[in-house]
Structure 1
């Protein structure tokens, strides 16, 4: 059963910035989907659109079906009920997302009360249970955000996301600001909670290796579009699209002389969303582009079982 279906989603900001251009996604119950790409590829805009959190000036079209209901056409009352209880979002900057003048337990308890799940007293007790579930003593609920470390604040954000028992968690770069040791702890925590609570997960990151280790499937975004998708391990180890290949090769492998003495990278930056190049948006940075790539756009085509890539070099049935 599909928990989430995204159909031909398009988001344009004021000034003609096309941040998301025709994205299609499907997430089944219990599935973990990773969305990867450089900064500016549309990942965070996609995450915000799933719960209709974009600024008022954004133009949105397409469908975002959460348990069969279109988030984009919901009335405000229904949308408020769906946020936190149907799907919740873990932001990348916990210090900017938490209220600095309220204790963290009160912030965890707030959505529980607002959604009518418990009385204020019971909600505070539930907040303590959630803190312990994410590896913090319940007593830390009396702390203010500035009294916690970065990893502890991120755990609080995860506890808040779990507060109303949603079926879908959307994690937008949840470990970007953390050191590698704490990052590994948070990733294992999320992975364990998703398995224990039988949740669906969308994990958004620029780190392809993290997503390949955490998720079942991967979707690679470039210039607002998905250019490759498929099983996580296969997309990471044998990508078809040149952009996905560049992302995968950008991560050095310990003990691999090739990675040490000949590190790979990708020159340039993603294109300006308000002035996209004609044809395939990646062709100005692509080392294997053909003349036709500059004039003919590429759409996703079959690239093996359960895989697809938007590249002229990928043949049908490959």
Structure 2
């Protein structure tokens, strides 16, 4: 895919609760090339949003991050606060879910979009105003709306403002965390199309988080599936969505009805049970209590990602060449890491 922009290496995030360290993200390894679009999917509680926030150290003080997050050659975990502040917005920016909660209700949207431009590029207010007008037009809004307050805009318009803010300082990477949550289907399609066009036209890398596999497979080049804080499958978007190798990925894909097949709506393929509580993860593979393809080894073995094709990996004993009969060397092993609080 080209030069690597983002390299996530053995990333683990734990929260301190009731005197114990609870792991929300457990040993994640991912890479994102310049200009590439990577989607991360999984049920609520799988660690998707925690992973996104950890990339720019936006987690609360109760969180501990170990591992490496190498962005454009620099390790975010090691950055000083001054350097980290310079990287946020200018090197990487985030489109949060729920724009109404992310925008300041007492400032106009024009002022909020201009703020990072003035801070990072040190241009005057008139120059920033011109940039704001152009950014609003880029996301399909009239420049005159710069004087509006968040409550005067629709949900789709507020999300467009968030995208304009993310693009304001021309970052190398945009992290979009459930960018279409709570939007109706038509507006959702518009926002996704807008993000896709803007990213493709500028060469920006995109890391998009969603629970909707069909959305991610349409927008992204590759997909990573998370379960109980771990990546259980990663590969080309179409392959992961339509030819999943991990039983959990297959269950996520099957949960969506087939467009053009009315009968599929009458045969939902949901997944029984709930994701495990991070405070009491099962032994072995975390998915095995819900897995329709469970084997005896799954109770005790927690397999690492294993190649199942071109740039396609899955963490399941079923994909091993010997079908799990000999698992030596396939078990996830802890590695030495650096710590940031």
Q: TM-score, normalised by structure 2?
A: 0.91
What is the Cα deviation at residue 295 of structure 1? Answer: 1.1
* Alignment match, 1:11: 13
2:36 aligned with 1:34: no
Q: Which residues of 2 match residues 112-151 of structure 1 at below 5 A?
A: 112-151=117-156
The residue aligned with 2:196 is: 191
RMSD of aligned Cα (Å)? 1.2
User: Structure 1 residue 168 and structure 2 residue 173: aligned?
Assistant: yes
1:91 and 1:193 mapped to 2: Cα distance?
A: 17
Matched residue of 2:161: which SS?
helix
1:195 aligns to what SS in structure 2? helix
- The aligned counterpart of 2:284 is 279
Q: SS in structure 2 opposite 1:166?
A: coil
Pairwise mapping of residues 138-287 of structure 1 onto structure 2 (< 5 A)?
138-256=143-261, 259-287=264-292
Task: Compute the displacement of 1:316 (Å).
Answer: 4.0
Q: d(CA) in 1 for partners of 2:256 and 2:320? A: 27
2:105 equivalent to 1:100: yes
Contact preservation (8 Å) 1:30, 1:198: yes
- Please report how far the alpha carbon of residue 317 of structure 1 lies from its aligned counterpart in structure 2 after TM superposition: 10
Report matched runs for 1:36-115 at 5 Å. 36-115=41-120
Q: CA deviation at 1:257?
A: 5.5
Displacement of 1:94: 0.3
Deviates most, 288-297 or 92-101 = 288-297
Spell out structure 1 runs of 4+ moving beyond 4 A. Answer: none
C-alpha separation in 2, matches of 1:72 and 1:147: 39
Paired with 2:35 and 2:212, the residues of 1 have a C-alpha distance of 22
**C-alpha displacement of 1:246:** 0.3
State the distance in 2 between where 1:316 and 1:148 align: 55
Q: Where does the alignment leave 5 or more consecutive residues of structure 1 unmatched?
A: none
CA distance in 2: counterparts of 1:258 and 1:7, whole angstroms: 43
Q: Is 1:2–2:4 an aligned residue pair?
A: yes
Could you tell me how far 1:116 is from its partner in structure 2?
2.9
Q: Secondary structure of the equivalent of 1:313?
A: helix
Unpaired segments of 5 or more residues in structure 2?
324-341
- SS of the aligned residue for 2:289 comes to helix
Cα distance in 1 for partners of 2:285, 2:84 equals 36
Distance in 2 (CA, whole Å) between partners of 1:165 and 1:271 is 39
Shift of 1:306: 1.1
Q: How many equivalent pairs are there? A: 318
